[in-house]
Amino acid sequence: MQERIAPLIDARAAGRQLIVPTRRTPPTGEPRDKLQRPLRDLRISVTDRCNFRCNYCMPKEVFDKRYKYLPHSSLLTFEEIARIAAAFSQHGVRKIRLTGGEPLLRKNLDRLVEQLAQLSTPAGNPLELTLTTNASLLATKAAELKAAGLSRVNISLDALDDATFRRMNDVGFPVSKVLAGIEAAQTVGFSRIKVNMVVKRGTNDHEVIPMARYFYGTGVTLRFIEYMDVGATNGWLMSEVLPSSEVISRIQATLPLVPLPPANDGETAVRWGYTDGAGRYDPALGEIGVISSVTRAFCGDCNRIRLSTDGKLYLCLYASQGWDLTRLLRAGKSDVDLAAAIATLWEQRSDRYSELRGMTGPAIEKTARRIEMSYIGG
């Protein structure tokens, strides 16, 4: 086993029992957690499998032939996912993100998209429905996803240099196929495409400027994500985090930027816009984003909840236990029961891991049971 990669302690089965409250009030559309945060963003993992082995997420020493993926019977069906998503839409969720593992490995994903695209907020507005993908299969699936009603795509790409990218995905996947996926998404009419780059100092930080130059003025928003201490297997070290402030200062030196206001509440990325000759933001040149999950905690307005492939709800990316919704669904509970259980769960939430990590310093003890990102999605 490669140095620093930690063996996996499987925390997936340890779901906690979700309770349907005896006094059920109808969904108000606005449950607040203990820190007064609303519920706006539901991230649904549709598979725990992936065809990449990015070292920061699914190191191949752990996710090898012996690793036991979830059995098919424990996966939520599309109908179950749609029921859950409908309950969330009544509670104020405005955005649904499909993720994984690699979501495009789930067969007939466009059929799930079709069902989710029917949902609306209590005020009658459609939900924003997005997909986060490594784009390996996007070129063949972009058209059907667009036709099914997907609003947007986020694509992960960690380098333009082929050797660096192949090393990072650890299965020798070429950059050219990801770029073909991005092009296919543009061709079928997706706009506001975002490309996410996880930056690891000493691994791909030399790609920050080439990536910025490549997407400059293309309409694609490049976002730099600080390498996070998610999961328990990736051997995370603070010394490999390139702080977003350094990303910005490196880009500023060649492509001038100005700060932009957040586009919406609870946005994880801080936006920066490219400027024209007069130093003003020029929308034609576009913008970048930095997601500073390590150096600048954004728990204060975290309105996100995650649903694992096997139907457990996670209140924080760093949680070690989920809340078992599948048991309620498969015990025949009604939609009202489900909605009430979800609201009660949200109302007892007080998670703010990144803020606490900031107070304790990077030496905060890592719990070996912390759930893996490939299981609950990014």
- 317 is an interface residue for ligand SF4 by CB under 6 A: yes
Are 271 and 261 a contacting pair, CB within 8 Å? yes
Q: Could you give the C-alpha distances from 291 to 138, 241, 272, in angstroms and in order?
A: 24, 12, 11
Nearer to ligand SAM, 275 or 320 (CB): 320
d(CA 206, CA 200): 10
What is the DSSP secondary-structure string of 321-345?
--EE-HHHHHTT--HHHHHHHHHHH
Residue listed under structure tokens 């969904």: 27
Nearer to ligand SAM, 223 or 352 (CB): 223
d(CA 214, CA 195): 11
- 102 is an interface residue for ligand SF4 by CB under 6 A: yes
The H-or-E segment that residue 244 falls in is helix 244-252
311 binds, among ligand SF4, ligand SAM, none (CB under 5 to 8 A by kind): none
Q: Which residues of 86-119 are buried (b: 16+ CB within 10 A; e: fewer)?
A: bbbbbbbbbbbbbbbbbbbbbeebbebbbbbbeb
298 binds, among ligand SAM, ligand SF4, none (CB under 5 to 8 A by kind): ligand SF4
- CB 56, min distance to ligand SF4, A: 7
Residue 228 is labelled as binding a ligand: yes
Nearer to ligand SAM, 127 or 195 (CB): 195
Q: How many CA atoms lie within 13 A of 231 on its CB side?
A: 25
- 244 is an interface residue for ligand SAM by CB under 6 A: no
Residue type, position 367, single letter: T
196 binds, among ligand SAM, ligand SF4, none (CB under 5 to 8 A by kind): ligand SAM
Residue 97 is labelled as binding a ligand: yes
Residue 56 is labelled as binding a ligand: yes
d(CA 170, CA 186): 27
What would the two tokens of residue 351 be?
């998670």
| Residue 225, beta-bridge partner list | 198, 291
299 binds, among ligand SF4, ligand SAM, none (CB under 5 to 8 A by kind): ligand SF4
Residue listed under structure tokens 């500073």: 292
- 375 is an interface residue for ligand SF4 by CB under 6 A: no
Are 40 and 352 a contacting pair, CB within 8 Å? no
Binder to ligand SAM among 47, 90, 134, 292 (CB under 6 A)? 134
94 binds, among ligand SF4, ligand SAM, none (CB under 5 to 8 A by kind): none
Contacts with ligand SAM, 303-342, as mask; x by CB under 6 A = ----------------------------------------
What would the two tokens of residue 224 be?
């730099």
Which stretch, 71-79, 83-91, 97-105, 237-245, contacts ligand SF4 (CB under 6 A)?
97-105
Nearer to ligand SF4, 274 or 323 (CB): 323
- 228 is an interface residue for ligand SF4 by CB under 6 A: no
Residues of each annotated binding site for GTP: 43, 97, 132, 194, 304-306
Binding residues for ligand SAM, per CB under 6 A? 50, 56-57, 99-100, 102, 132-134, 156, 196, 198, 225, 227-228, 230, 234, 373-374, 377-378
